[in-house]
Structure 1
Amino acid sequence: MNKNKADRVQEDLEKWLKREQRFQKIFSRPLADNRSFLKEKLKYYDTIKSKYGNVATREESATLRLMKEDRGAIERQLYPNAIVRLAFRITLKIRNEINSQKEQRQNQANLQELRSVVHRLGLPENAFSERHLRQERDIPPFTYQVGENEQMTFNWDLSQEQDGAYKFNGYTATLNIEGEPQRTQRFPLDGTDEITARQAYNLLSGRSVHIGTERDRHWVKLDLNDKDRDGNHKVKRFYANYNYSLKDQLAKIPINSLTNSGQMKMVEGALRNGDRIKIQLTGGEFLSIEANPQHRSIDCYREGRKIPFSQVTKARSKRNKKHRVHGRLGKGTQGIYQKRVIR
């Protein structure tokens, strides 16, 4: 939807001129004498005036003034009688007012629909404002600070339908990290594999995200070292048959204070969203972890430095070994309270 700076009024008038030239080839009678055609031309001029009248640039305003003079000449040609012309203008004003109110209602509904998409992406409503519906170029990107040295920028990809309504086709997310090359990726909004703003940040940070419908849930990860012809990072996908179980890998880590299934689900949910989260081990040590489906593991970090997963899981193995006692089972109810008899 973004365009280079140009006279939009002139562009629309040139579209009408091409249409006029096509009609002239079809019909033998000069269009300048065709009342039906001239009425259509007046409507087209009024549409352009309504479309750009309040948002026109200086150059576009000059084109609108010239168009107004031509419109006046056509109106006098159609209605040479001053009284008839006045009646036409009054009728036109009433009709324009009705159409304007209808257009405002449609624009508000369209704006609310677009804002709901923005909200679904996890961005605030002010990330998309009413002025975006009035501008066909130079739509300002939405930028916010993620961390002390990290910034995310979103550029919208919008198109206008035949009925005049706008729709989101997708967005381009850019991650700027101080001292590192810029990372950019376009994420389509076509109803499949919809990526939220948070997930876009995580993907551009090099982490994996679990997406898709219930039947097609899978992990995705951007290859930050390889791009396609459009400049987007190639996407790696890991489906169910790749046999990566986040739950099984989490069970290998001696995480402290996960007393119920609800807390574990919160941890799993954050990791599936691509977040790097902080956990506390049973020994009191704090680590940061993130999902790594490609290597069927979990990446662990101590104070920002990556450490081997085996080093973290070894703590649980030692703990289990410590509580393992050789001997036979004594009498009593089978289960957790049954004591062992030491020989």
Structure 2
Amino acid sequence: MMGKLINDRVQEDLEKWLKREQRFQKIFSSPLADSRSFLKEKLKYYDTLRSRYGNGATREERTTLRLMREDRSAIERQLYPNILVRFAYRVSSLIHKEIEIQQEQRRDHANLQELRTAVTRLDFPENAISERHLEAKEHLPFTYQIAENQQMAVHWYLSREPDGTYRFNGYRATLITEGGPQRTQRFPLDGMDEITAGQAYNLLSGRSVQIGAERDRHWVKLDLNDKDRDGNHKVKRFYANYNYSLKDQLAKIPINSLANPGQMKMLEAALRNGERKKIELSGGGYLSIEANPQHRSIDCYREGQKIPFGQVIKGRSERNKKFRTNGRLRKGIEGIDRRRIIR
């Protein structure tokens, strides 16, 4: 779940306090053990840790908490040697503790909603992340069905902030295909390269996706035959100067029933998102197509078998030749065959 596995969160927080204590000791001349203000702050810190981890502590953490309570009691006796004063302090501490618990619950709820907003922005369902992902001491995947024989397992990358909240840093997606290879890739959350759930699936399926905005808009594709030392596939990028025009390549295919410009835009948007789309040819029959920026063309499939793009273009050229006669060219819609009208 997180970038690193934490075995004892209480110990980790106590070590942070110790470093703070050592830093203060270098600054101030008098021993901190004699400072009532510092000891009160230390008591508050101990109470915060007890509230934060007391209910969900592991066996190792419970041991650390028990030792921390003994040290806390010693500090409390040092600050309040009078038993009545000490009793009044404990009552006051219990009231403050209850207030802090309520504040932390509200904070944790708001934090969880923020995380859910982040994952839904990437087209994952809201329940893809829950309290169990935050409380777990190990990576817990969110798994869902993509197709009859395919599943996607997602591990969230969350970092814990000093105030106890979690920040969403991205995810690792693993495409599991029955009887096929298992492919995995980390998709960090770094602004321009935000990859949605559908795009992650399309990339792991070997297709290309267009990402970015305005001048930084470009195509990306995973090299499924090459990985880095962290197990991630190398990423190929094709920018505007690579001179790939999806619209121009689509215009070469004799597509039927796309007289409505809105339909063509929907087809283009799907292909830019990395999808494989089924189309009907004007001469009859169907093809499945997907964008191929690397080779500046479109990959075409019929019943799962790849067909050379040149063969599809040839079919259109022969069809155009069939309607070539003496006469003027009737105005039509770009990308659709135009027939000459004989006068």
Normalising by structure 1, we get a TM-score of: 0.89
CA contact (8 A) 1:2 1:138 kept: no
Counterpart amino acid of 1:145?
Q
The answer to whether structure 1 residue 258 and structure 2 residue 240 are counterparts is no
Q: How does 1:41-120 map to 2 (within 5 A)?
A: 41-120=42-121
For the residues of structure 1 that align with 2:300 and 2:331, how far apart are their CA atoms?
Answer: 34
CA contact (8 A) 1:193 1:211 kept: yes
Deviates more, 1:271-280 or 1:184-193: 184-193
Question: How far does residue 14 in structure 1 lie from its aligned partner after superposition?
Answer: 3.6
For the residues of structure 2 that align with 1:22 and 1:217, how far apart are their CA atoms?
Answer: 48
Measured against aligned partners, the alpha-carbon deviations of 1:147-175 in whole angstroms (never above 9, x if no partner) come to: 23322221111112334332111211222
Measured against aligned partners, the alpha-carbon deviations of 1:87-118 in whole angstroms (never above 9, x if no partner) come to: 21222223223333322222222211111110
- The unaligned stretches of length 5 or more in structure 2 are 333-338
CA contact (8 A) 1:3 1:138 kept: no
For the residues of structure 2 that align with 1:335 and 1:213, how far apart are their CA atoms?
Answer: 34
Name 1:276's counterpart in structure 2.
276
Would the alpha carbon gap of residues 25 and 214 (structure 1) be closer, same or farther in structure 2, given more than 3 Å must change?
A: closer
Name 2:146's counterpart in structure 1.
146
Counterpart amino acid of 1:310?
G
Question: How far does residue 262 in structure 1 lie from its aligned partner after superposition?
Answer: 1.0
Matched residue of 1:192: which SS?
helix
CA contact (8 A) 2:280 2:287 kept: yes
For the residues of structure 1 that align with 2:308 and 2:300, how far apart are their CA atoms?
Answer: 7
Name 2:219's counterpart in structure 1.
219
Deviates more, 1:21-30 or 1:186-195: 21-30
For the residues of structure 1 that align with 2:128 and 2:134, how far apart are their CA atoms?
Answer: 13
For the residues of structure 1 that align with 2:102 and 2:9, how far apart are their CA atoms?
Answer: 24
CA contact (8 A) 1:219 1:238 kept: yes
Question: How far does residue 239 in structure 1 lie from its aligned partner after superposition?
Answer: 1.3
For the residues of structure 1 that align with 2:22 and 2:210, how far apart are their CA atoms?
Answer: 54
How well do the aligned residues superpose, as a CA RMSD in angstroms?
Answer: 2.5
Counterpart amino acid of 1:340?
I
Measured against aligned partners, the alpha-carbon deviations of 1:172-196 in whole angstroms (never above 9, x if no partner) come to: 1222223344322211112122111
For the residues of structure 2 that align with 1:334 and 1:26, how far apart are their CA atoms?
Answer: 87
Question: How far does residue 310 in structure 1 lie from its aligned partner after superposition?
Answer: 1.6
Would the alpha carbon gap of residues 41 and 271 (structure 1) be closer, same or farther in structure 2, given more than 3 Å must change?
A: same
CA contact (8 A) 1:2 1:139 kept: no
Measured against aligned partners, the alpha-carbon deviations of 1:221-259 in whole angstroms (never above 9, x if no partner) come to: 111122233332221111112111111111111222223
For the residues of structure 1 that align with 2:92 and 2:76, how far apart are their CA atoms?
Answer: 13
For the residues of structure 1 that align with 2:303 and 2:288, how far apart are their CA atoms?
Answer: 8
- The unaligned stretches of length 5 or more in structure 1 are none
Deviates more, 1:47-56 or 1:277-286: 277-286
Question: How far does residue 80 in structure 1 lie from its aligned partner after superposition?
Answer: 1.7
Counterpart amino acid of 1:106?
R
For the residues of structure 1 that align with 2:295 and 2:340, how far apart are their CA atoms?
Answer: 39
Deviates more, 1:227-236 or 1:17-26: 17-26
Name 2:173's counterpart in structure 1.
173
Q: How does 1:5-16 map to 2 (within 5 A)?
A: 6-16=7-17
Question: How far does residue 33 in structure 1 lie from its aligned partner after superposition?
Answer: 3.3
Higher relative contact order (CA 8 A, sep 6+): 2
The answer to whether structure 1 residue 304 and structure 2 residue 300 are counterparts is no
For the residues of structure 2 that align with 1:42 and 1:63, how far apart are their CA atoms?
Answer: 16
* Percent of aligned pairs sharing the same letter: 73
Deviates more, 1:85-94 or 1:112-121: 85-94
Would the alpha carbon gap of residues 95 and 149 (structure 1) be closer, same or farther in structure 2, given more than 3 Å must change?
A: same
CA contact (8 A) 1:274 1:291 kept: yes
Matched residue of 1:225: which SS?
strand
Name 2:130's counterpart in structure 1.
129
Question: How far does residue 217 in structure 1 lie from its aligned partner after superposition?
Answer: 1.2
Counterpart amino acid of 2:229?
R
Name 2:335's counterpart in structure 1.
none
Name 2:342's counterpart in structure 1.
340
CA contact (8 A) 2:324 2:340 kept: no
Question: How far does residue 202 in structure 1 lie from its aligned partner after superposition?
Answer: 0.9
For the residues of structure 1 that align with 2:9 and 2:269, how far apart are their CA atoms?
Answer: 47
For the residues of structure 2 that align with 1:339 and 1:148, how far apart are their CA atoms?
Answer: 49
Question: How far does residue 27 in structure 1 lie from its aligned partner after superposition?
Answer: 5.1
Normalising by structure 2, we get a TM-score of: 0.89
CA contact (8 A) 2:77 2:86 kept: yes
